[in-house]
Amino acid sequence: MIGRELKLLAGNANRPLAEEVSAALGIELCQATVGRFSDGEVRVKIDETVRGADVFVIQPTCPPVNDNLMELLIMVDALRRASVRQVVAVIPYYGYARQDRKHIGRVPISARLVANLLETAGVDRVLTMELHVGQIQGFFNIPVDNLRTDPIFADYIRDTKPDLSDMIVVSPDVGGVGRARRLAEQLRLPLAVLEKRRNADGLGIKEIRVIGEVRGKRAILIDDIVSTGGTLVRAAQALVDHGTVEVCACCTHGVFAGDAIQTLKNSPLKKVIVTNTISHVQAEKEEFIEYIPVGEHLAKTIRRIFENKSVSHLFPLH
């Protein structure tokens, strides 16, 4: 019987992360051309045989979201037509995840549409990290492994903060309480929650209510995404107004859209810690933004998926 073969393929969305995974696994990335035709269309050519292989395609669908998503879909199609055994889409950051429901009339559920596109293209399994909401897994009819990052942040905090006695974990909104509670339990720290009260028209924020005792504490805000930075900045200011002496933030995905970096730099936040699911050249140069590598975590998970072993044995799932 011929043994199965594990191969890695990377698009252009986050090449450094793909190389990190490759090094951790001790497997070279597949030789492939992933570029553009003169008219801007995505051009993909797999430059080595992949017949019968289990191919893990590493491609976060981060900005530019549509370009990176199309690259992923076309890479999957190319692999399918090259007679691979299985395609696993490794999507550390799942774009369109925040469009997960109809909050008003006549809007799409784009997170579901992306799931349909991936399945139609020929993806057999998805590996992702810290989905905006865990229920997105239910949009798929194929297995989805959603790796949590709170254990990664817990390890970081233990390693960098020798004294946790005056610290508190804070969720910037009610929707993120579960994520914050898990981190607080791992660190054996108290938990606080910020509740936004909106104006009657539902557009502006009237006030932010702090639920929990934060006075005199060093606060750790935890969220899944930092995009414009507005949520974190408002949360940090509310905490400082209530007597918090220091505020840091841990966010899995550093999108840093628009003027986010300057907005965060001018805020009460002392430090913003993110993982490298998204590559952002400007953010990586900022001293107040710290990156935690996750390539080794993804590599261990890829290895266990390939060997048909339990993934939850390594990392708790949602």
Query: For the residues 87-115, what does the mean pLDDT come to?
Result: 96
Kindly write down the DSSP assignment for every residue of 247-301, as one continuous string: EEEEEEEE---TTHHHHHHTSS-SEEEEEBTS--TTGGG-TTEEEE--HHHHHHH
Is the CATH number 3.40.50.300 carried by domain 6-148+295-306? no
317 pLDDT higher than 60: no
Span(s) in the chain for CATH 3.40.50.2020: 6-148+295-306, 150-292
Spatial contact of 171 and 195, defined as CB atoms under 8 Å apart: no
Report cis status (omega within 30 of 0) of the bond before 64: yes
202 pLDDT higher than 70: no
Query: At how many degrees (to 10) do helices 65-81 and 110-121 cross?
Result: 20
pTM: 0.95
User: Could you tell me where the beta strands, DSSP code E, fall in 97-241?
Assistant: 125-129, 144-147, 167-171, 191-198, 205-211, 218-226
Topology annotation, domain 150-292? Rossmann fold (3.40.50)
204 pLDDT higher than 80: no
Catalytic residue among 7, 45, 102, 196: 196
Active site residue 271: no
Residue 294 pLDDT: 98
Q: Which amino acid is at 233?
A: V
124 pLDDT higher than 60: yes
Cα(98)–Cα(135) distance, integer angstroms: 11
Residue 313 pLDDT: 75
